[in-house]
Structure formats: structure tokens, C-alpha cells
Structure 1
């Protein structure tokens, strides 16, 4: 009997000690958890979160330098993303969750309004043969409702990935009062060339003003049909909007027609060699250190690029500023 009592007392005592230890650990964990909060899938300390809130920095980008804040004020960018009812929640949602958050204004343009997403529905037909109509009406919509909200107006697809900081850096030496637009330059089909639709192209405020003023004239700008980027290129040329060589000072490309791997290894289709103004180069030496866009980026790779660009670091490596806006000669 005495052994049973002794065992029972020992068991109860052990349980009590275990409960005390567990409670202390839980208290410690609770204190640790209370020090952190989760923002957009990233874990930050509450001190960091408070600093982000007080500085006005976007939560997905903890460090926004004074120069970056100044660039945002100087080069306000409206991004409009061409999408459709079928791809809105398959592709566009991943654009919304990643790079589009860094635009000053972002619009998702479709043929059907979706107030929840949200997406702007225009009176257009879907299909590649109607992309010109969707683009023309999208720019008309933007001019009527958002002309004063931005200085530059970028069109992108729902499988385009854009690095807004690099775009703003490129634009800081440009004037939005000039009739210009930028993108990945193709040398065929239009006298001054034109820019790839998938890589994204950026209209200045003056370019958009001219498009709104005379773009509805079918003698100046085709209203539907053809290839969207080619037709916009012809339209811009007739409006006196100039294309510009937007390679960096080392002659490397900023806007990209394909995903990064294709430009690294040069697995291009035959047509690209005929169209590309920069000679369809490949490899790391052909891509600017400040790239602006990549096309044909699948949803999963949107998040991979997001991680590589905004989260991955190499200890001990300090990357200095490079002046790459000097025109390449």
C-alpha cells in the first residue's frame, strides 16, 4: 500500500511540475508571438510593422528609401492589365497579389465588370482579334477617368511581370510632356518600329493626350482587328509619338518579350531574330541590371520572381548604384 501511495504522490508531483514547465513555455511562446505580426504573408516584428506604418511605406516592401519615395512622386505610374473573364481568377489574381501593388494606380481591364476583384468591364468582344479594340477603349477609359492621376500609363498583360522600381528609375530622366512611349522595340512592320504588347509599353501623358484627341479617327488609328501592338505602333507614329531606344547604357534590354530563362539561354523562335531591334541577344550580359519587365510568366513564377527580387539576399554583398540611364551609343 505504501509503495502505491508513494508512486501516486510521485506521479502527481511530476504532473504538477510538467504543467508548470509547459505553462512557462506557453507564456514564453505567447510573448514571442506577440512580438510579431504577419503582413501579406511575410512575418515582421511589431517594431518593424510600426515603422512601416509610420513611414507610409508599403507593407510588402519594408525599406523605401527617400530617393525611391521621390521617384514615386516624380514618376507616377498607372498600370492597366489586360485580362478577361476566363483568366481573371487564373492569371490576373497573381498579378494583383504581386507586382501590381506597387503601381500608383492599377486597373484590370476586361469585357465584364467584376466589382469584387475589381475589374473594369468594357463593351468589347474577347479574343486575340479584338485586342486592338480593347486597348483603344482602355486608353479612352483611362483618359476620361484617370488622366490626372498619373504621369505615365503602362499597358501589361496578365502574364507580364513588372519591376516598378526599375521602371520609375528609367522614367526619372524622361519627360511625360514629350510625345514618347517605351517598351521592347521591334524593327519591322512600322517605319519607326513598335513595342511588344506582351512585354508591356508605357505611354507618356502627352502620348495619351494625343491618342485621346485623334485616336478615334479610323484614318489615324485602327479601331479593331490586326495585331494590337503593331496597330498601336502605327497609331503612335501617325500621332507623332516617338519610339526611343530604351536599352541601358551598356546596350542591355530592359523590357523583355519572354520569361527570364528564355532570354538567358536564347531559346528563341525564328520570328524573334527577324523582329528584335537588339539582335536577339542572350545571356546575363544582354539583360540590364535594372530590368523592367518579363512576359509569359506563369502564376507560380510570379511569386518566385517576387521572392528573388524582394527577399533574397547574399550576406556581405553591397550592391552600389549604377548609372544606366545614359543613352547607349
Structure 2
């Protein structure tokens, strides 16, 4: 029979074991909690810091697995859905307007650009929404949009202050075709005589209007034709990426706003906007045409500059791009016209690099590349810090390659005068001696 002493020892041992187990459980729970918190913070930080190109590649990998088992039409519609995630990233943080009103006068000779602006009238209409007016659309208005002959913003709701023209179409990617068809009809009915060419852009597209006018200077506005970033799938003659923007001739707009309103020729809503417009154009007898420059380099771009410079395209792009999905400095025209997925911060960056920053001592001359037939930043900036590798190549391209056609860069004397300083220093030295 166990003694009272033995029972007491057993109880003590059992208490120690239970204590150890409880302590282990507490340590485990504590460690698990800390681990979860750290994992959450790392994940949150990573989502904020992940470059746009990596996000696109991740989305593209999911898209590629979908690609092999779906029709091209279904693929196009899924591709449209990918834009929503990009839109969220580009408009996540509101950006304040940057004013480019320098005290000094620039010495660039823009006589050719001004002449082309008078001769080639372009109406630009931008597709936006009520939620993006202050986040994205305002920055289009403050940058490249001011170089259009006429600039119009279309939304689902009228805003007389901004202003925007409201269309009788619901918001959502499934209604982009309807919004596009109605917008072009509105432009035709109200502004047909005010322009020769009619351009559609998104509120995250950036256009170099001087280069667009130069390209159009060798085209005929009375031809049934339209231009953009050429995709070779879905439609027999191909179609143009909606994000890179596309330009309709006067004759093309006339056909779209008349015969194109018949559902037998053109779908009036639903589907993938750019692909549906491509089918519509083919049915109307409007042709696609080559927009590469005389050296075979691209002018319209459905991604941002870094992606076209560095590559890293999603696999579907190699199936879609009509020009071989090239990459690098040698593949982009010095007179590039458009880029897509350009958020507000990058939009002001492009504005500065293209129209303000200049490498001193290099006066660019105009090139014939058509086929036959910031106040606080110096224009002669020397260095920038925290430049990512992909951005470094972008700077190289914008500073030494990309040019707005018709603007001949002139050198400016922006060094500070040091004569008075030297004189005072000399007098001071004499006093010391």
C-alpha cells in the first residue's frame, strides 16, 4: 500500500509534468503568434515594395495556365480583368500635382512642333471614372493632355467642375465596349469638325503628342485606317491594345458613328473593348496599318517603359504582339508615341525627362523616321539616387534617345556666376596677408 509520502511525491511529479506541458504550450502559442505577426508584416511590406513588373509576371503566370485551355476571345476578356489589379496599384496613393512653371525661359526651338500642332488637329478623349478623377485623370490633364488640340474626359457620371462628360453606361470592365462606342459617337456628333484625328486613351496612358503628330504627318485623314499597338490574334487583320491608346482617322470615325451603330456590324457593349472594336473596324472596312518607324522600332506600347526596355513580358504577349515582342533600346523608336500602366508619379517623371532634363552640349537634330510616303530640378541635372536597375535603363533611354519631334534642344547657360565670389575672395586674401 502506498504511503502518504509516496502519494505526495507522485502529486508533485505530476504537477511538474503538467507545469512543463503548460509552459511548452504557452511558449508554442507565443512563438506562433510572434511568427504570424512577423509574417503578416513581411507580407504587407512586400506587397508595397514589389515592383509593377513582378506583379505583372505573377499575374501572367496564372494567366498562362488559363491560356492553353481557353479560346482567344475568352483569353482577351480575362486579359481585361488583369487591368483591375494594375489600376489598384497605380492609384493606391494619391499624388499631388507637380507644377512645371520655370522662372527662366527654355532655349528649345519648338517651331516645327508648333507648326505641326496647327496643321494636325488631334482630339484626345480619355476614359476614366468618378473614382479616378483626382487620383489619375487630373494628372493627365496637367501633363501630356494639355498638348492635345482638344481634350475630353468621359465617365459614367457628369462632373461639371472637372469637367467630365457622363455617358449612359455603368462602370466596370464589362462595359468598356459600351463606353467606347458611346464616347466616339458623342465626339462625332459634337466635335467632328474640330479635329482631323480622334484618339482614345486610358487615364494611365502617357502620350508624346509631338511624336504622334509627326507620325500622322505622313498619313491621310480621309483614309479608313486606325493606328495603335498591334495585336495579331482574334481578328483576322489584328487589332490594337486599348491601354496603349489608338487613333482613328476622320473617315474611320464617320463610319464608326454611322454604320458602326448597327449591332450587325459592331457589338455595342460587353466583351473585351479593344478586341470588339477590332472586329467592328474590320466589318466596317477600316484597315490596320504598320506604325513602326523606318528602323522597325515600336512607337505604341501596351506596357510601361521599363518593361519594354528590360523585357520580362508575360508569355501571352509573345502570342499577341505583331512585331515580335522585342525588347531593349534598339526596339523602341526615338519618336515613341505612347506607354501604358503609367501611374501619376511616373507620369510627372516622364514629363520632366522628356521636356525638361537635357544632357548639356548635345543639341539633337530632327530625324526622318517615318516610312517613305520642374522648378526645383535643373534641366542639366547631374545625378539621382535610389535608382533601380530598370529605372536606370529608362533614364538612359529618356535622356539620350527619346525626343519630342519638332523640338530642337538648345543649350542654356545655367551655371551660377562666380565672378563676384572670386573677387571678394581675392580681397579677403589681401587683408589676411
TM range (shorter): 0.7 to 0.9
Which entry has the higher C-alpha Rg, 1 or 2? 2
Deviations 1:299-326 (A, max 9, x none): 1000000000000001111211111101
Q: How does 1:304-323 map to 2 (within 5 A)?
A: 304-323=349-368
CA contact (8 A) 1:157 1:198 kept: yes
Distance 1:136 1:64 in 2: 39
Structure 1 residue 258 and structure 2 residue 317: aligned? no
Matched residue of 2:103: which SS? strand
Matched residue of 2:130: which SS? coil
Structure 1 residue 283 and structure 2 residue 328: aligned? yes
Q: How does 1:177-196 map to 2 (within 5 A)?
A: 177-196=222-241
1:267 deviates by 1.3
Q: Which of 285, 292, 295 lines up with 1:240 in the alignment?
A: 285
Q: How does 1:21-40 map to 2 (within 5 A)?
A: 40=99
1:63 deviates by 4.7
The equivalent residue for 1:147 is 192
The equivalent residue for 1:43 is 102
Distance 1:315 1:116 in 2: 42
The equivalent residue for 2:348 is 303
Q: How does 1:124-139 map to 2 (within 5 A)?
A: 124-139=169-184
1:64 deviates by 5.9
Distance 1:64 1:313 in 2: 14
1:41 deviates by 3.6
Distance 2:359 2:192 in 1: 41
Deviations 1:201-221 (A, max 9, x none): 000000000111101110100
Distance 2:264 2:167 in 1: 23
Gaps of 5+ in 2: 1-97, 374-433
The equivalent residue for 2:27 is none
Matched residue of 1:182: which SS? strand
Distance 1:241 1:161 in 2: 25
Deviations 1:208-248 (A, max 9, x none): 00111101110100000010000000101111111001100
CA contact (8 A) 1:179 1:240 kept: yes
TM value normalised by structure 1: 0.82
1:44 deviates by 2.2
Query: Relative CO higher for 1 or 2, CA cutoff 8 Å, sep ≥ 6?
Result: 2
1:270 deviates by 1.0
The equivalent residue for 2:388 is none
The equivalent residue for 1:117 is 162
Stretch moving more, 227-236 or 316-325:
316-325
Distance 1:217 1:72 in 2: 34
Distance 1:43 1:65 in 2: 17
The count of residues paired between Structure 1 and Structure 2 equals 276
Q: How does 1:80-91 map to 2 (within 5 A)?
A: 80-91=125-136
TM value normalised by structure 2: 0.62
Distance 2:369 2:108 in 1: 22
The equivalent residue for 2:215 is 170
Gaps of 5+ in 1: 1-38, 49-60
Matched residue of 1:87: which SS? helix
Rate the CA distance shift 1:249–1:41 in 2: closer, same or farther, 3 A.
Answer: closer
The equivalent residue for 2:248 is 203
Matched residue of 2:342: which SS? coil
Distance 1:108 1:64 in 2: 31
